[in-house]
Structure 1
Amino acid sequence: MNAPRTRVQRRPVHGVLLLDKPLGLSSNQALQKAKWLLRAEKAGHTGTLDPLATGVLPLCFGAATKFSQLHLDADKTYEAIARLGIRTSTGDAEGEVIEERPVAVTPEDLARVQAQFTGPIRQVPPMHSALKKDGKALYEYAREGVEVERAAREVVIHALELSRLSAHEIRIRARVSKGTYIRTLGEDIGAALGCGAHLSALRRTATGGFEVSRCVTLEALETMSEAQRLDQLLPTEALVAGHTHVILGAEDAARFLSGLRRRGPWPDAAEVAVFGEAPPAFLGTGHVKAGELIPGRLLNPIEIQQTLLTEATP
């Protein structure tokens, strides 16, 4: 007879965990594992990584989930390995081989294609993606063998580096705008080289200002004590590091948190991170227009109190 499962006692946890997502887990599986390890009440992520991709996956807990959308729009940096001469049904190693062609790629070819795919480009989203058509994910249509017409979308490849690894493999390093599909980029590069390609490996090395060197693995988290796991969390305001800072006194802070606009000597700013002065605490976001600080997304007093208590705990 199986022993009854111990119910995990959840608790309020606020902050951002930079996870190095392992191979084979979906983003949601990785999130649920980290949520269980932290015993967190509420959690979400800032955009998915394919199960076959590894690397930077910022996970948001508690109050930080209110600001996760901000990171969906961040530029991302990837390293991928493309296998030349073989096209697959999914654009990666999971799919079935649908075409094989000889490979005759020169350094000049790589340089030409690298220049061709740097800057604004148009991409047709892959069928094996979570993009929705009539309320249904494209990958669901793909599983049913249905091909859905997709409109090309403009994305930006801010930086691209192609280098040869072997006769049939190249490394792709790319910093890209939101909405860029690296599998599609690999397939398009293969087509431009005249031999076709699919991705055999994919790793996200940065998203926004978060780099993989700052990430922790699930394996490492499992070996830690609860206090050590909490120490891995970045504060919620790490998600708004690029925002203009505004600091409010106690009276203005209380009014701001109730949704009231405040007047002050601030220049216009589209993205503002607002902090209380005493005690020093992150209150939320807003924007400044014509000397008015206009509230955006706000923490509630309980979230602020819980965050301050956590930070005060040695």
Structure 2
Amino acid sequence: MERQRTRVQRRPVHGVLLLDKPLGLSSNQALQKAKWLLRADKAGHTGTLDPLATGVLPLCFGAATKFSQLHLDADKTYETTVRLGVRTSTADAEGEVIDTRPVTCTVGQVVEVLDRFMGEIDQVPPMHSALKKDGKALYEYARDGETVEREPRRVTVHDIELLDMQLQGEAPQLRLRVVCSKGTYIRTLGEDIGEALGCGGHLIALRRTATGPFDVSDATTLDALESMADDQRLQALRPLEDLLPGHERVTLDAEHAGRFLSGVRRRGDWPNRERVAVFGPSPTDPTQSVLLGTAHTQGGELIAGRLLSPTDIQQILEACEAQP
């Protein structure tokens, strides 16, 4: 007898959930589980983590998805373990072993090599990645046994900290903390460090501990979210403006706020700013402000970027009022 599926009643949910993504789930699988638990009707994430990676993954719900692209440029912090002496087909523990070499490097050589990978570097994206070539993801070519030409990409490694090191024994390895720009492949970095040390290497652990202003210490797990009552899950969401760090705050009065939401430029004595977060008075409580959207200022004009709809704003206010 076919088991009857429980139908989830979707609802408008607006905010950001900092998820500590578990090992083994893709970013989209984690997103869909959180979306189901929150009964949200619209969701997206701010860039993916590999299934073999854990750590902080900001998930955007409702109106927050309007600003998720802004977070793609954020710097990231990872903690990773590089197994030295063994290369794999995927540069991580999921691939097949393709080369083994003895590890003969010294502590001094490790320090010198890590320094060499600081600053701006060129990386060739791995074949096992979601980057697309001719409309097809690289991992799809790899799955078919094909290797295609990839152009090196310039990325920035702001810092590499050596957390632990073991150069002898059956499993020589380095444990690193890496602070880097968007688009940096830690698998490739680990593999390249191993090659520079003359022994090769691959990742056996990867955890993202920070992305932009978000730290994994503030994140919640899927298990914790599942154990919460419905209202607690909603309270776990952070406000939309948390996605807008570094934005200059501009607050409009009711008349100017209404015109701004219609896309009409407003004039004022604002200095030129590329990133502005615009707020207006709450219709239900004029002493409180509510996010209207993003903008930039130029020549004394406030020019709208991504705007919330009046419906979005009303739903956000209703959700705030419903919270204890």
Specify if TM > 0.5: yes
Partner of 1:188: 192
> Is 1:280 matched up with 2:289?
yes
Mapping for residues 227-266 of structure 1, pairs under 5 Å:
227-266=231-270
| Secondary structure at the counterpart of residue 303 of structure 2 | strand
What SS does structure 1 have at the residue aligned with 2:65? helix
Judge conservation of contact 1:16–1:234 (CA < 8 Å) in 2.
yes
Contact 1:55 1:212 in 2 (8 A): yes
Match of 2:135 in 1: 135
SS at structure 2 position matched to 1:51: coil
- The letter of the residue matching 1:239 is L
Q: Supply the AA of the counterpart residue of 2:321.
A: A
Task: Read off the aligned partner of 2:302 and give its amino acid letter.
Answer: L
Residue number among 213, 225, 228 corresponding to 1:224 in the alignment? 228
- Equivalent residue in structure 1 for 2:176, among 154, 172, 177: 172
1:306 paired with 2:315, answer yes
| In 2: Cα distance, 1:215 partner to 1:77 partner | 15
Matched with 1:201 is 205
Equivalent residue, structure 2, for 1:294: 303
CA RMSD of the aligned region, Å? 0.8
Code of the aligned partner of 1:303: D
Tell me the alpha carbon deviations over residues 96-128 of structure 1, each in whole angstroms, 9 at most, x when there is no partner.
Answer: 000000001211011101110010000000000
Letter of the aligned partner of 1:148 in structure 2? V
Question: Under a length normalisation based on structure 1, what TM-score does the superposition of the two structures give?
Answer: 0.99
CA-to-partner distance for each residue in 1:251-293, whole Å, 9 max, x for gaps? 0000000001001111110000000033510000000001100
1:116 corresponds to which residue?
116
Identity %: 68
Amino acid at match of 2:210: A
Q: CA deviation at 1:165?
A: 3.4
Residue 47 of structure 2 corresponds to: 47
Partner secondary structure for residue 20 of structure 1: strand
Unpaired runs of 5+ residues, structure 1, are none
Q: TM-score, normalised by structure 2?
A: 0.96
CA distance in 1, matches of 2:259, 2:164: 59
Secondary structure of 1:57's counterpart equals strand
Please, which runs of 5 or more residues in structure 2 have no aligned partner? none
Of 160-169 and 35-44, the range deviating more from structure 2: 160-169
Amino acid at match of 1:156: T
Map residues 75-114 of structure 1 onto 2, 5 A cutoff: 75-114=75-114
Distance 1:264 1:273 in 2: 15
Partners of 1:281 and 1:163 in 2: CA distance: 43
Q: Does the 8 A contact of 1:110 with 1:162 survive in 2?
A: no
The answer to whether the Cα contact below 8 Å between 1:267 and 1:290 also exists between their aligned partners in 2 is: yes
The residue identity in structure 2 corresponding to 1:29 is Q
Contact 1:89 1:95 in 2 (8 A): yes
- Hey, what's the Cα distance between the residues in 1 that align with 2:260 and 2:44? 26
SS at match of 1:104: coil
Q: How far off its partner does 1:3 sit? A: 3.1
Aligned residues: 314
Structure 1 CA distance, aligned partners of 2:126 and 2:264? 45
Partner of 2:12: 12
Task: Provide the C-alpha distance between the structure 1 equivalents of 2:162 and 2:156, rounded to a whole number of angstroms.
Answer: 16
Work out whether residues 284 and 296 of structure 1, in 8 Å CA contact, stay in contact via their aligned partners in 2.
Answer: yes
The 4+ residue runs of structure 1 with deviation greater than 2 A are 162-167
Structure 1 position 163, deviation (Å) = 4.1
Q: What are the superposed Cα offsets for residues 161-211 of structure 1, whole Å, 9 maximum, x if unpaired?
A: 134432301012111001100000000000111100000000000000000
